[in-house]
Amino acid sequence: MPIPGNLFTTAMAVMPHKDVDRALQVALSLDVPFWPQLPKVSYYEDMYVQASEHFPGIVLDLEKRTLRFSMEKFIGEYEETMRHSDDPEYFDISDTYSVVYRRFLQLDLSGRVAIRGQLEGPISFGMNVLDPDGRPILFDDSIRPLLLEVMAKRANVQLIRLKKKNANAFMYIDEPGLQFLFSAMSGFSDQAAKGDLETFFSLIERPRGVHLCGNPDWDFLLGLDLDILSLDVYTNGEVFASYARSIAKFLGRGGIICWGIVPTNFEPFEKESLDSLEQMLTEVWNLLHKKGIDREFLLSRSLLSPATCCLVNPDAEKTVEKAFRTVKDLSARLREKFKLI
**What domains, with CATH codes, occur in the chain?**
8-41+94-337 (3.20.20)
d(CA 196, CA 206): 18
d(CA 133, CA 79): 24
Could you tell me if 157 and 195 are in contact, meaning their C-beta atoms sit under 8 angstroms apart?
A: no
d(CA 11, CA 18): 18
pLDDT at 179: 80
d(CA 175, CA 216): 10
Block mean pLDDT (10 aa), the chain, length 341: 92 97 98 98 97 97 96 96 95 97 98 97 94 92 95 98 98 89 61 84 96 91 95 97 98 97 98 98 98 97 97 97 98 97 72
d(CA 255, CA 250): 5
pLDDT at 1: 60
Sign of CA dihedral 8, 14, 16, 22: positive
Q: Which of 285, 273, 289, 287 is nearest to 330 (CA)?
A: 273
Instruction: Please list the residues that pair with 68 across neighbouring strands.
Output: 59, 130
d(CA 122, CA 99): 23
The Cβ of residue 117 has, within 10 Å, a number of other Cβ atoms equal to 22
Could you tell me if 121 and 176 are in contact, meaning their C-beta atoms sit under 8 angstroms apart?
A: no
d(CA 341, CA 108): 24
Question: What's the chain look like in SS3?
Answer: CCCCCCCEECCCCECCCCCHHHHHHHHCCCCCCECCECCCCCHHHCHHHHHHCCCCCEEEECCCCEEEECHHHHHHHHHHHHHCCCCHHHHCCCCCCCCCHHHHHCCCCCCCCCCEEEEECHHHHHHHCECCCCCEHHHCCCCHHHHHHHHHHHHHHHHHHHHHHCCCCEEEEECHHHHCCCCCCCCCCHHHHHHHHHHHHHCCCCCEEEECCCCCCHHHHHCCCCCEEEEEHHHHHHHHHCCHHHHHHHHHCCCEEEEEEECCCHHHHHHCCHHHHHHHHHHHHHHHHHCCCCHHHHHHCEEEEECCCCCCCCCCCHHHHHHHHHHHHHHHHHHHHCCCC
The Cβ of residue 302 has, within 10 Å, a number of other Cβ atoms equal to 21
Instruction: Please list the residues that pair with 9 across neighbouring strands.
Output: 304
Strand order across the beta sheet in which 228-232 lies: 8-9, 302-306, 256-262, 228-232, 208-211, 170-174, 116-120
pLDDT at 25: 98
